Amino acid sequence: MNRLISHLALAFACAAAAPLASAAVLTFDDIATDALVAPGYGGLDWSAGDWFAFSGAQAPFTAHSGSVRIASGFGDADAATAIGLGDGKTFQGAWFAGYDDVNVTFKLYEHGTLVATSTTLDTSATPTWLASGYAGLVDEVIVASADQGAWVMDDFAFSKAVPEPGSMALMTGGLLVLVAATRRRRG
């Protein structure tokens, strides 16, 4: 009996921790350099624009990690920088570098509704983190800038959503019912 409870507790702990381990950071270093970002790269939808990956030293477009970073097309409309995350994702932010005083801002959407806007980052040759500033679910991120193509993005961070407290309570209740049923059979 104690062994069953131990196994159930272990299963519960693993189930509860699994969503927390689902964070992802796209470094772009696995993309062939000097190429367009594939529409489904990293499980996200990059098809709205002409995101381009490149490597090699090119000031002020400094990579944060590795050597590959991505850029939007010069003069693109903000809508062309839309990145589809899909359902059930949170977005943490990304690193940016570029010409001095180029402004970059995230616009975060959920089902077509603008739910948050990040602070504005003034880029420089030193990669700087721009946090989304929003912990809720989003399904689309737009990188807004009056100077598209004058900056690069690296280490794009997102994750699957952590289960809501109600879901965790339901899972806990189900496990308690299993334990009670097992005790009743053996007792």
For residues 16 and 174, the answer to whether their CB atoms sit within 8 Å is: no
pLDDT in tens, the chain (187 residues): 555 455 444 445 444 444 444 899 999 999 978 999 999 999 999 999 999 999 988 999 999 999 999 999 999 999 999 999 999 999 999 999 999 989 999 999 999 999 999 999 999 999 999 999 999 999 999 999 999 999 999 999 999 875 555 545 555 555 555 455 556 666 6
DSSP-based three-state secondary structure for 3: helix
Amino acid of residue 71: A
Strands 151-160 and 83-98 come out as antiparallel
pLDDT value of residue 33: 82
Amino acid 2: pLDDT: 55
Of 78, 76, 77, 56, which is closest to residue 67 (Cα–Cα)? 56
Give residue 21's pLDDT. 41
Residue 7 φ then ψ, to 5°: -65, -40
Distance between first and last Cα of the chain: 10
Tell me, what's the pLDDT at 184? 62
Query: Which architecture, in CATH terms, is 22-162?
Result: Sandwich (2.60)
Whole-number Å distance between alpha carbons of 63 and 57: 9
Q: Distance between alpha carbon 80 and the CA centroid of its chain, in Å?
A: 18
pTM here is 0.77
Residue type, 93: G
Q: What is the pLDDT of residue 160?
A: 87
Bridge partners of residue 110, in order along the sequence: 113
- Yes or no: say if 114 and 184 are a contact pair by the CB < 8 Å rule: no
Domain spans, the chain: 22-162
The CA distance from 20 to 160, in Å, is 8
Strand, helix or coil for residue 89: strand
